[in-house]
Amino acid sequence: MLLHFHNLTKRYGAQTVLDGITAGLDFPHVLVLLGPSGGGKSTLLRVIGGLETPDAGTLTLDGEPVPSEAKPLRSYRAGIGTVFQSWNLFPHLDALANIMLPLTAVHGLSPAEARTRSMELLERLHLADHAAKRPAELSGGQRQRVAIARAVAIRPRLLLFDEPTSALDPEMTAEVLDVIADLKEEGRTFILVTHAMNFARVVADQVAFLAGGRLIEYGGAQEFFSNPKTDTARRFLDRVLRY
């Protein structure tokens, strides 16, 4: 997948979160966004997902510009699977209905087709027994796996993970990371924002390092972790990998 940013800028009030990023990011399957908190990773991910509109600049995905008008933007978002830090499942729907809703309401599947596809996914994620449970009855790890199933079920062109394990304890983190690693095995394309450095190292093809709203460094994962080119990235890695 080829992502191209040109002068991409996003401000919240007086604060500039993305500071005119111009870059071409070419990655086979998995791109990991790293960097200090407040550096712009999550905002960049949200701009890529069509959830935030940039104040200036453009963004293309495989050469296609991300639309800015409401209707094409909505179908653009519908083609991308987003997984949030706090899963954002619909609390009034059970696990199965959560996965089925985008399929029937947005992607035009019949309820029967949607049910079959959703149950297949639930079984693959070992969640079949929990299909009829609402999010409140599930553990954090189970919720996040349901959220991943919801994002994968639509057969997206791209998956986005926004710190998918930051709200989970270590055991649940592992069960969610296992699923994400499987997605890579299946050859899916995704962009991941995470603070789980060791996992990032294993799963990433390419790494983009952001700080202060700028893209500081971009390159292959092995290269980035063993031999970062910039001082900022080196200091960051020293800090987060110290313990």
Residues that bind another protein (CB under 8 A): 49, 51, 74-75, 77-80, 82, 84, 86, 88-92, 101-102, 105-106, 136, 150, 154
Please provide residue 32's backbone torsions phi and psi, each rounded to the nearest 5 degrees: -110, 130
Nearest distance in Å: CB 15, another protein: 19
Kindly state the smallest distance separating residue 220's Cβ from another protein, in Å. 30
What is the Cα–Cα distance from 76 to 50, expressed in whole angstroms? 7
Residue placing its CB nearer to another protein in the complex, 28 or 72 = 72
Closest CA to 145 of 163, 158, 127, 128: 127
Tell me how far, at minimum, the Cβ of 216 lies from another protein, in Å: 28
**Residue 11 CB coordination number (10 Å):** 14
Which is closer to another protein, CB of 93 or CB of 174? 93
**Quick one: 102 or 141, whose CB is closer to another protein?**
102
Q: Residues 157, 189: contact at Cβ < 8 Å?
A: yes
Task: Answer yes or no: are the C-beta atoms of 63 and 9 closer than 8 Å.
Answer: no
- Which lies closer to another protein via its Cβ, residue 14 or residue 70? 70
Nearer to another protein, 82 or 206 (CB): 82
Tell me whether residue 58 or residue 86 sits nearer to another protein (CB atom): 86
Using an 8 Å Cβ cutoff, are 93 and 136 in contact?
Answer: no
Give, to the nearest 10 degrees, the angle between helix 170-185 and helix 140-153: 20
User: Could you tell me the two tokens for 66?
Assistant: 């991300």
Least CB distance from residue 92 to another protein, whole Å? 5
**Nearest distance, CB of residue 95 and another protein, angstroms:** 15
Q: Can you tell me whether residue 203 is helix, strand or coil?
A: helix
- To another protein, the closest distance from the beta carbon of 17 in angstroms equals 17
40 DSSP 8-state letter: S
